[in-house]
Structure 1
Amino acid sequence: MTRLKGEDEVVELCRDLIRIDSTNAGDNAGPGERAAAEYVAEKLAEVGLEPRILESDTRRANVVARIEGEDPGREALLLHGHLDVVPFNAGDWTRHPLSGEVADGCVWGRGAVDMKDMDAMILAVVRQRLSEGRRPPRDVVLAFTADEEAGGKYGAQWLVERHPGLFEGCTEAIGEVGGFSVSIGEQKRLYLIEAAEKGIAWMRLTARGRAGHGSMLNADNAVTELAEAVARIGRYEWPVRLTPTVRAFLEETSAALNLEFDPDNAEATVAKLGPLARMIGAVLRNTTNPTMLDAGYKANVIPQEATAHVDGRFLPGYEDEFFQTLDELLGPNVTREFVYHDIAVETGFEGPLVRAMADALVAEDPGAHAVPYTLSGGTDLKAFSRLGIRGFGFAPLKLPADLDFSGMFHGVDERVPVDSLQFGVRVLDRFLDQS
């Protein structure tokens, strides 16, 4: 097999990107993405593209470029990746999260799996193809965005609202959190392709009561009212709801495991997925997790107000049920307001683009079997879907069977195998030829 230059370059591209501090704590006070955006733009310009750097705020930078395809009359394809990463405590890591160190066959650092690995794979494939004069079958738009880790206000959302013309003709997209392998025995691997995302409802809950002295009787205590509501929400067992994507995943996985799928006991199938069960188990139902509490200013003063925050996630098609149930759990004396609210998305797992992903995987891994799955979190796809773009999570990685890949998203000692990066370059190159 002829070795692509992109396979060699992808490791250095990934290391370079990791070394650029683009942490995003959600307060718009970090280093921003400008340095990473300039790096990406330079790499694209070197192979003849004309990338645009668009700043939504000071140092909050996005990069967009278009590659002209062989048939510009066809609908365009969007490849998107974000440049920001979540914060870290370097003291908790085995190797410094901004080192980009290569050790034990992996590239280490914050963003190695979320998602500077995919950014590097896109850059490597594009640079290889354009240096060889190989244009894609149709126009390809590249978008490297800011602020995905805080909802995309300065990134994909801003681009969609302010610069929708940059995505003219785009009807399909691929992005993060999909295309990675889960081993089923020695010779077979499921590759999970994201076809759906849960919606997001980050909420602030408020209870108001009567302030007073802590030594006196008070039947109108805001802390008590709030605590009872938070406990009801946190302990509520949401019913299992099998959306089309979740059902398809469980059926495919059961078949691969030689199990009979029982839709009345979906959790039994999920339990056999090892570490992946944390991610997949969360998409069997809506979820509401209390995350913050705040009340009072002195031990002997009953406060007039108490607040809490809840991270709510709802399945595609179940948003109305989610909020109706939530309001019942809150009770009449606790109000809610959104800190952040975004849609759920879901698309069918069929059509030429799905076949292109599946065929590219099998060509590089004969034991590959592509299956759709639902992401419990959210990505920039939510924003791009508002332009009518149908998207998938497809950042292809063939992973060692014993690597807890899902556990490294936002985790400690984030790392990606070198072989996996190189595999991803080969798959993406084939995918572009077939897309």
Structure 2
Amino acid sequence: MTDSGSSVSRSPLGAELPGPEQLDGIWDVVVVGAGPAGSSAAYAAAAQGRRVLLLDKAEHPRYKTCGGGIIGPSRDSLPPDFQLPLQDRVRAVTFAYNGRFTRTRRSKRMLFGLVNRDEFDHRLVQAAKQAGAVLVTGVTVSGVEQRGGENRTVVVTAADGRSFEARAVVGADGSASRIGRYVGVSFDQIDLGLEAEIPVPPGVAAAWAGRIHLDWGPLPGSYGWVFPKTEDSSLTVGVISARGDGERTKQYLADYVRRLGLSGFTPSVESGHLTRCRAEDSPLSRGRVLVAGDAAGLLEPWTREGISYALRSGRLAGEWAVQIAEASGTTEVRRQALNYAFAIKAGLGVEMRAGKQMLAAFERRPHLFHAAVCLVGPAWRAFARTTQGHTTFAQVLRQYRAARKLAAVASR
């Protein structure tokens, strides 16, 4: 955001960049990372009229390894009037058990939408900027230091020597977060995801329109997916499994692509990433520094869905960062940080605990989950209602005796 009298430089791509004088002084909130969590945090803080700086190492739009599934909780956490750049609307799911026992289930209502992450993330950044946040890209954060004294601020240092001072900082810089390491985030589940973006002829893309594929895989806790991007005539194909057996995970992806009849098409992008799920006692703050999204290890443990967790935790982090920025002393800072942790644990923490219970059962008896969702009406409806945002895994386990029994039997 610039004033008419402010100096403005331009990047090689022609985007406006803040002049040096605009970055001086103490910010109310500095957010590190402009993914869904960071943009949501910046939006939430800027919408309250605070001076907010959003830092990212990449220029947007940029490619992001992700299936791009937008479930109900993601949709409900977006800024007002946000327009989703949907590539497809999913109303059907084809389930398979390691390539066998295939069945397609359909819903009259949309289950979720599919987006390309470069477009989706870029629109979130634009929403944060429209709310008043200042975006600076090309910034790789190398250090964080909290200063005492009368003002009590946080200094974020960049690899190029620049520094930015704030009354509160939100770390949303991904699963390998520099801010997360500073806070002391710890993980008890790390998984390897492999993905390929496969351009296909329009006729092949049309055959996938409105339908995804989920394959319960051969490795404990693994599964594969096909998410169609019909507008781009491409398919996002991926698999995920526990880290530690990379070669078998690679083989699973190759076998999966072959079984789908897609091995004759050349991927435009092949990538991999680690998803990290926080330990239950992992910290969410340190002094005036909060973490959100992947930086905090917040994601659904069974499905490894992270977009809704990023949006929700980012919004909460932005709101509580404002409270911390206005706190007058260490006692009040600690109280507001604890309030943020409580808000996370009371919502996302409860859902994560249920997800870990589901994953433990799924690792032992994936065939029971496949049979349930394919053959048992209430199980399919619970799956559909969860993706639509009408319920959660925690609520399903709490409200349905059959679901609790399935999880208990599968865990034996």
TM-score range, shorter chain: under 0.3
Query: TM-score, structure 1 length as denominator?
Result: 0.23
When Rg is computed on C-alpha atoms for both structures, the one with the higher figure is: 1
